Amino acid sequence: DAGVIQSPRHEVTEMGQEVTLRCKPISGHDYLFWYRQTMMRGLELLIYFNNNVPIDDSGMPEDRFSAKMPNASFSTLKIQPSEPRDSAVYFCASSADRGRGTDTQYFGPGTRLTVL
Amino acid sequence: DQQVKQNSPSLSVQEGRISILNCDYTNSMFDYFLWYKKYPAEGPTFLISISSIKDKNEDGRFTVFLNKSAKHLSLHIVPSQPGDSAVYFCAASARNFNKFYFGSGTKLNVKP
């Protein structure tokens, strides 16, 4: 298995532009998570899906952020409009369901976003 | 609300010695714990886990200890190697929780 795939690996954009981050989870995994890592806040959970349905988006910082999972093999995290404070590394992770909640999460390589 | 805390942002250890990374949690419902290792420019990779029915789990050079009464877990690396230099995150979850709570990470530097 190729593991969790994220694209792009690096994104540099200007303030006000729309940014779309993409994720392909591990085949067969039921959960998909979007995280953001910053120096100040460490690893923050933004939103997670179970069987393609958003379950908890309480970590999404504001309405400029949105996430979708149209099918079991693809998810997007969109920022519109982007701001310099959105600069961070964004990780996608997926996990199986062990019958009592999420199992070990496997992370993608991340997308480093820089908003100028 | 930081339910999982790693109070040491960094740790430096000599090659061959033991590295001990600590993690504290506040939620007594947590019953499943993970450690992840993260190299620069890569995603966190799963290292070792422990369930609350155990107080110790060992995998090669890595051992995780769980003290439920103190709500504390630790990761021991023996012997430490320069390739172990990375950021280590602990994470916790509970039955029917669908997410993990992560600590802020400890940066380990193993000096040759």
Query: Token pair 């009464």 is at which residue?
Result: B69
How much is the mean pLDDT over chain A?
92
Give the alpha-carbon dihedral of B89, A37, B82, B65, to 10 degrees: 0
B58-79 per-position pLDDT tens digit: 999 999 999 999 999 999 999 9
Counting residues of chain A whose pLDDT is more than 90, the rounded percentage is 78
What confidence category does residue B88 fall into, taking pLDDT thresholds of 50, 70 and 90? very high
Average pLDDT over residues A3-24: 97
Band of the pLDDT at A104, cuts 50, 70, 90? confident
| Residue contact A101–B98, C-beta within 8 A | yes
**A88 and A110 in contact (C-beta within 8 Å)?**
no
- Dump pLDDT digits (tens) for B34-60: 999 999 989 999 999 999 999 999 999
Q: The dihedral of CA B28, B78, B49, B10: what is its sign?
A: positive
Contact residues on chain A for B64, CB-CB shorter than 8 A: none
pLDDT for res A100: 62
Helix (H) or strand (E) holding B111: strand B106-111
Q: What's the token pair of residue B76?
A: 């021991």
Spell out which residues of chain A touch residue B43, defining contact as CB-CB under 8 Å. 4, 91, 93, 107-110
Q: How many CB atoms lie within 10 A of CB B101?
A: 21
